[in-house]
Amino acid sequence: MENILDIKDLRKAFKAFTLDGITFSLPRGYIMGFIGPNGSGKTTTLKLIMNLMRADAGTIEVFGQDHIRFEREIKQRIGFVYDEPVYYENLSIRRMTGLISPFYRQWNQPLYEDYLRRFDLKDDQKIKTLSKGMRTKYALALALSHGAELLIMDEPTAGLDPVFRRELLDILLEVMQREENSILFSTHITSDLDRVADYITFINQGKIVLSQEKDSLYEQYVLVKGGPQDLTDQLRRELVGVSVNSHGFEGLADHPIRGEGLVLDRPSLEDIMFFHTRGDRHGA
Partner 1 sequence: MALKVMMKELRGLSGDVRSMLLTFATPFLFRIFLPGFNGAAFPAILIIYVILGMLSTRTDSTSIRTGLIQFPVTARDHVVGLFLYQAAVVGGTSLLALVYMQVSGPANFSADIVPKSLGIGLLLTGLMTAIGLWLRTEVARVVNMLLVILALNFVIFQAVGGPVFLPWISSPAAALAGLGGWAVFLVLGLLSPLHL
Partner 2 sequence: MRIVLSNDSRQAIWEQIADQIKDAIMKGDLSPGDPLPSIRALARDLRISVITTKRAYDELEAERFVESVQGKGSFVAAQDTAMMREKRLKTIEERLSEALIEARLLGFEYEELERMLRILWEE
Q: Is 57 in the site for partner 2 (CB under 8 A)?
A: no
Cβ count near 99 (within 10 Å) = 11
Q: Is 196 in the site for partner 2 (CB under 8 A)?
A: yes
Hey, what amino acid is at 233? D
Q: Is 31 in the site for partner 2 (CB under 8 A)?
A: yes
Q: How far is the CB of 177 from partner 2 (least distance, A)?
A: 5
> In sequence order, what are the beta bridge partners of 210?
202
Residue 214 contact, options partner 2, partner 1, none, Cβ 5-8 Å cut-off depending on partner type: partner 2
Residues from 219 through 238 that contact partner 2 (CB under 8 A): 219
Angle between helices 132-144 and 162-175 (to 10 degrees): 10
Q: How far is the CB of 164 from partner 1 (least distance, A)?
A: 21
Binding range to partner 2, per CB under 8 A, among 13-21, 81-89, 169-177, 182-190: 169-177
Q: Is 249 in the site for partner 2 (CB under 8 A)?
A: no
* DSSP code for 126: B
Element (H, E) at 199: strand 199-204
- CB-count exposure of residue 161 (10 Å: 0-12, 13-18, 19+): exposed
- For residue 207, give Cα distances in angstroms to 128, 257, 258: 37, 27, 30
Distance of CA 206 to the CA centre of its chain: 15
Give the span between the Cα atoms of 260 and 56, in whole angstroms: 50
For partner 2, the closer of residues 213 and 230 by Cβ is 213
For partner 1, the closer of residues 117 and 126 by Cβ is 126
**The only residue of 54, 69, 72, 195 in contact with partner 2, by rule CB under 8 A:** 195
For partner 1, the closer of residues 182 and 211 by Cβ is 182
For partner 2, the closer of residues 84 and 215 by Cβ is 215
Q: What is the dihedral of CA 227, 232, 236, 238, to 10 degrees?
A: -110
Residue 117 contact, options partner 1, partner 2, none, Cβ 5-8 Å cut-off depending on partner type: none
Binding range to partner 2, per CB under 8 A, among 10-18, 44-52, 170-178, 272-280: 170-178
On the CB side of 83, how many CA atoms lie within 13 Å of its CA?
11
Give the span between the Cα atoms of 160 and 137, in whole angstroms: 9
Which residues make up the interface to partner 1 (CB under 8 A)? Answer: 47, 50-54, 71-72, 75-76, 78, 80, 82, 86-88, 90-92, 95, 98-100, 102-104, 142
Which residues contribute to the site for partner 2 (CB under 8 A)?
29-31, 169-170, 173-174, 176-177, 179, 195-199, 213-215, 218-219, 266
